[in-house]
């Protein structure tokens, strides 16, 4: 028996933005894959390329940006070779995306009900009455109270958390195989975030939807994702099953990130570990390892030689010359 | 206990180390009026808030958007006029500017009620109480150089000569971990974390005793957030600063605070020391809030029991009768609808406003098996 081909397979993807001062290499040669129903976390700080990755998959990169290389295979088909018309059939129906700001997906001048039914009528060819029933059921699925009444309301009459839940409802109307959620709870309060994540987890489980969760929040990923990949300066620098990656991060950047967040279950008020400096320019990223200027362990090799990048072939990978050879606690105690 | 009695009990405590004392602060905004002489509709953003900030310590106001924490902070400095209540502030006398060689004489001054203060008194108080804002982009004028931004409080208060101010800016930039040579640049050439450092340098220019930090790290990436939190800690130690810290992130709050007040719909629902609040949260809202904060550890996350609050934050225009939290409370009872709970001292130093405080001690912060 051959294993199932991956649902999504990204090979050596490069997305650059052309500017007057040079090419901004937002995504610079990343490879990864997702299987059916997998929940993958893509973690990184601003400018690491995580949202550009999502936009590249959806075919939403616009000039001055362009995908300059690589392949994005979805169910074996290279999305980069599809025409805009063909891509439209995939977008929304097969792969759906939700963003941080739910108002990017909701039109303020139409009622929530009419936006939901429009999707159903266009994509699934339902009659007005059928679509209305399904739309109301879906609102109930995402825990909108009195859905029949709220069906007639405009987006501004909903709270932020409810709007995001409506957007999730809309994204799932066509039962996509893959849902890309780009910072879906970043604009929400923590109790609304808990509601939204709880809902996404339940829906993904029920329907077997694969979810790519893009976020800067290591906590949100911990409760949701089976696998995690960490991005830095346009590259994937480490990937692995969530349990292993959090318990035993091998890349100094991953370690640094985990160490620098204050934790709710930690009552110490001692100094936080902090990664020095700031993220590098993406026009002229450092030669060698992109993290070396901020790395506590950098050697001459790191400055001159680029570490082998994560290629997506094995479940646990780390793009560092000295992967896993650090012990932060003892190293720091020794300082 | 009536709110009057709360004030009296609080006054009995040793208050020699209190820098800022806020009592029964309220702020309501006029929303609209029906017709010309019809009844006015008000939004009660802050509905009777009392707390003390002690010298050299950090009091945090924590809550979700719309709970009134930022409005409270702004009312303290009268950047927004409070509707009623007292804001008692004690300016330490003769607190010198760093670099000033005159002997420091920080004798205890009497409290001044800022809500009643004359403009001269208010100006003097504002020398000693400064604010750092959340958005490091919006809070710095893009047309001004760093020199002009950081020295602005000195200019506004007529402190020092031009040469003195230039020197002071150099000193301040070094204090917040920036190169003195940055003084000639404009904000656009800096990253978010560096801009926040510039905002902190500006707040420290007049050597204040109290700094109000309104979500100072919310807009920053985690690696930069740690740098700024460490800086704030250093500055507090070095300069003996008192902080009023406004935040929504409970993990950050746990890391920085001496004492914490949890706000919901314009009121403090629970107030305790850092250890007591996180060790045994008593209010159902505090518990729900804590249980909702994700912990970056998959093993813990999979075991945790999360309290998912139903419903949405009620409107501050039409507040619920009785307890403000009763519409979403998992342990609500009939009494909560009828009668509004008062903030009472349930355990020593641990104040909670709930008819049925959750004394069983389930912390939610540690995983429940």
Residues B235-275: pLDDT tens digits?
Answer: 999 999 999 999 999 999 999 999 999 999 999 999 999 99
Q: Could you give the C-alpha distances from B44 to B14, B23, B337, in angstroms and in order?
A: 32, 16, 19
* Residue B58 near residue B245 (C-beta atoms within 8 A): yes
pLDDT at residue number B99? 45
The answer to the question of residue A157 being in a domain is yes
Given an 8 Å threshold on Cβ–Cβ distance, is B254 in contact with A266?
yes
**Closest Cα in chain A, distance from residue B252 (Å):** 6
Higher-confidence residue of B290 and B36: namely B290
A201 and B CB contact within 8 Å: no
d(CA B247, CA B244): 10
d(CA A275, CA A294): 7
Higher-confidence residue of B315 and B83: namely B83
Question: What CATH number is associated with residue B13?
Answer: 3.40.50.300
Domain range holding A157?
A: 92-225
d(CA B239, CA B58): 13
Considering its fold, how many domains does chain A have in total? 1
Considering its fold, how many domains does chain B have in total? 1
The answer to the question of residue B323 being in a domain is no
**pLDDT average, residue stretch A100-114:** 91
Residues B319-364: pLDDT tens digits?
Answer: 899 999 999 999 999 999 999 999 999 999 999 999 999 887 554 4
d(CA A230, CA A255): 11
The answer to the question of residue B367 being in a domain is no
Residue B9 has pLDDT above 80, yes or no: no
Write the residue in B223, B293, B295 that is nearest to A260 by C-beta. Answer: B223
The answer to the question of residue B20 being in a domain is yes
* Residue A230 near residue A218 (C-beta atoms within 8 A): no
CA atoms within 13 A on the CB side of A1: 2
pLDDT at residue number B35? 74
The answer to the question of residue A186 being in a domain is yes
Residues B174-187: pLDDT tens digits?
Answer: 999 999 999 999 99
Residue B135 has pLDDT above 90, yes or no: no
The answer to the question of residue B21 being in a domain is yes
B274 and A CB contact within 8 Å: yes
Tokens at B170, concatenated: 């150099």
pLDDT at residue number B237? 95
Given an 8 Å threshold on Cβ–Cβ distance, is A219 in contact with B288?
no
Domain range holding B213?
A: 3-264
Residues B144-182: pLDDT tens digits?
Answer: 999 999 999 999 999 999 999 999 999 999 999 999 999
A223 and B CB contact within 8 Å: yes
- Range of lowest pLDDT (A101-105, B129-133, B348-352): A101-105
> How does residue A327 score in pLDDT terms, banded at 50, 70 and 90?
low
User: What is the SS3 assignment for A26-67?
Assistant: EEEEEEEEECCCCEEEEECCCCCCHHHHHHHHHCCCCCCEEE
DSSP A228-259: EEEEETTEEEEEEEHHHHHHS--SHHHHHHHH
List, in order, residues 6 or more apart from A201 with CB less than 8 Å away. A223, A224
Q: What are phi and psi of A36, to 5 degrees?
A: -55, 130
Q: Count other C-beta atoms under 10 Å from residue B2's C-beta.
A: 8
* Residue A252 near residue A320 (C-beta atoms within 8 A): yes
> How does residue A335 score in pLDDT terms, banded at 50, 70 and 90?
very low
The answer to the question of residue A303 being in a domain is no
The answer to the question of residue B181 being in a domain is yes
pLDDT at residue number B368? 38
The answer to the question of residue A311 being in a domain is no
The answer to the question of residue A26 being in a domain is no
Contacts of B222 in chain A (CB under 8 A): 45, 216, 218, 257, 260-261
pLDDT at residue number B361? 55
Strand partners, A15: A27, A67
Q: What is the DSSP letter of B65?
A: T
> How does residue B101 score in pLDDT terms, banded at 50, 70 and 90?
very low
**B118 alpha carbon, distance to own chain's centre:** 24
CA atoms within 13 A on the CB side of A219: 21
Q: Could you report the predicted ipTM of this complex, rounded to two decimals?
A: 0.86
B230 and A CB contact within 8 Å: yes
**Closest Cα in chain A, distance from residue B172 (Å):** 19
The answer to the question of residue B338 being in a domain is no
The answer to the question of residue A33 being in a domain is no
Residue B103 has pLDDT above 90, yes or no: no
Nearest residue in B to A161, CA atom: B312
pLDDT over 70 for what percent of chain B? Answer: 89
* Residues of chain A numbered 271-310 and touching chain B (CB < 8 Å): 271-276, 278
Question: What CATH number is associated with residue A136?
Answer: 3.40.50.300
**If you count residue pairs, one on A and one on B, with CB atoms under 8 Å apart, how many are there?**
136
Top mean-pLDDT range of A117-131, B79-93, B235-249: B235-249
Contacts of B258 in chain A (CB under 8 A): none
Given an 8 Å threshold on Cβ–Cβ distance, is A269 in contact with B255?
yes
Task: For chain B, give the mean pLDDT.
Answer: 88
* Residues of chain B numbered 238-267 and touching chain A (CB < 8 Å): 248-252, 254-256
Contacts of B254 in chain A (CB under 8 A): 262, 264, 266-267
Quickly tell me which residue has 């894959």 as its tokens: A33
Residues B299-310: pLDDT tens digits?
Answer: 999 888 888 888
3-state secondary structure of A149: helix
> How does residue B314 score in pLDDT terms, banded at 50, 70 and 90?
confident
Nearest residue in A to B231, CA atom: A271
Contacts of A205 in chain B (CB under 8 A): none
pLDDT at residue number B5? 41
pLDDT at residue number B94? 53
B289 and A CB contact within 8 Å: yes
Q: What is the DSSP letter of A106?
A: S
List, in order, residues 6 or more apart from A86 with CB less than 8 Å away. none
* Residue A146 near residue A80 (C-beta atoms within 8 A): no
């Amino acid at each position: 028996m051959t294993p199932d081909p991956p649902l999504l397979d990204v090979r050596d993807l490069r997305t650059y933005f052309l500017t007057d001062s040079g090419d901004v290499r937002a995504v610079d040669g990343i490879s990864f894959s997702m299987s059916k129903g997998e929940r993958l976390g893509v973690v990184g700080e601003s400018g690491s390329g995580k949202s550009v990755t999502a936009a590249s998959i959806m075919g939403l990169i616009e000039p001055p940006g362009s995908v300059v290389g690589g392949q994005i295979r979805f169910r074996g088909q290279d999305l980069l070779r599809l025409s805009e018309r063909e891509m439209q059939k995939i977008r929304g129906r097969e792969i759906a995306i939700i963003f941080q700001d739910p108002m990017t997906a909701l039109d303020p001048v139409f009622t929530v009900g009419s936006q939901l039914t429009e999707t159903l009528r266009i994509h699934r060819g339902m009659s007005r009455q059928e679509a209305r029933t399904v739309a109301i059921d879906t609102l109930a699925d995402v825990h909108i109270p009195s859905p029949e009444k709220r069906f007639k309301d405009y987006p501004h009459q909903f709270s932020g958390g409810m709007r995001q839940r409506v957007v999730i409802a809309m994204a799932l109307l066509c039962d996509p195989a893959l849902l890309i959620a780009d910072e879906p709870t970043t604009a929400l309060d923590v109790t609304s975030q808990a509601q939204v994540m709880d809902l996404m987890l339940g829906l993904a489980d029920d329907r077997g939807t694969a979810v790519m969760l893009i976020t800067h929040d290591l906590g949100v990923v911990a409760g949701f994702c089976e696998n995690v990949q960490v991005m830095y300066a346009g590259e994937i620098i480490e990937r692995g099953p969530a349990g292993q990656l959090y318990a035993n991060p091998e890349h100094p950047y991953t370690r640094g990130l985990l160490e620098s967040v204050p934790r709710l279950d930690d009552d110490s008020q001692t100094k936080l570990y902090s990664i020095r400096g700031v993220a590098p320019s993406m026009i002229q990223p450092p030669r060698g390892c992109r993290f070396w200027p901020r790395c506590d362990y950098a050697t001459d090799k790191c400055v001159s030689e680029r570490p082998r990048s994560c290629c997506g072939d094995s479940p646990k990978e780390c793009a560092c010359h000295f992967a896993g050879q650090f012990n932060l606690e003892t190293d720091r105690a020794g300082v | 206990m009536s709110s009057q009695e709360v004030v009296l009990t609080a006054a009995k405590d040793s208050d020699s180390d209190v820098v800022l004392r806020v009592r029964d602060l309220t702020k309501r905004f006029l929303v609209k009026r029906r017709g010309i002489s019809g009844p006015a509709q008000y939004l009660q953003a802050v509905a009777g808030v009392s707390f003390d900030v002690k010298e050299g310590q950090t009091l945090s106001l924590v809550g979700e958007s719309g709970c009134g924490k930022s409005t409270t902070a702004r009312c303290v400095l009268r950047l927004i006029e409070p509707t009623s209540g007292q804001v008692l502030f004690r300016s330490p006398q003769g607190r010198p500017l760093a670099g000033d060689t005159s002997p420091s004489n920080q004798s205890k001054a009497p409290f001044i009620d800022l809500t009643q203060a004359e403009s001269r008194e208010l100006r003097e108080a504002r020398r000693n109480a400064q604010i750092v804002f959340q958005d490091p982009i919006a809070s710095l004028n893009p047309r001004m150089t760093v020199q002009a931004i950081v020295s602005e409080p000195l200019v506004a208060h007529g402190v020092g000569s031009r040469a003195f101010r230039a020197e002071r800016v150099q000193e301040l930039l070094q204090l917040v971990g920036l190169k003195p040579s940055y003084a000639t640049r404009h904000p656009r050439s800096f990253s978010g974390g560096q801009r926040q450092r510039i905002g902190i340098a500006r707040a420290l220019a007049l050597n204040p005793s109290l700094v109000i930090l309104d979500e100072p790290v919310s807009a920053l990436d985690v690696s930069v957030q740690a740098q700024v939190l460490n800086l704030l800690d250093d500055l507090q130690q070095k300069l003996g600063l008192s902080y009023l810290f406004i935040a929504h992130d409970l993990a950050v709050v746990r890391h920085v605070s001496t004492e914490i007040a949890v706000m919901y719909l314009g009121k403090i629902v629970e107030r305790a020391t850092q250890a007591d609040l996180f060790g045994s949260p008593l209010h159902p809202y505090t518990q729900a809030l804590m249980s909702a904060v994700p912990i970056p550890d998959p093993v813990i996350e999979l075991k945790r029991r999360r309290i998912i609050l139903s419903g949405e934050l009620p409107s501050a225009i039409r507040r619920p009768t009785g307890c403000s939290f009763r519409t979403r409370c998992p342990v609500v009872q009939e009494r909560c609808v009828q009668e509004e709970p008062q903030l009472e001292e349930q355990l020593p130093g641990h104040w909670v406003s709930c008819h049925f405080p959750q004394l069983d001690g389930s912390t939610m912060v540690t995983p429940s098996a």
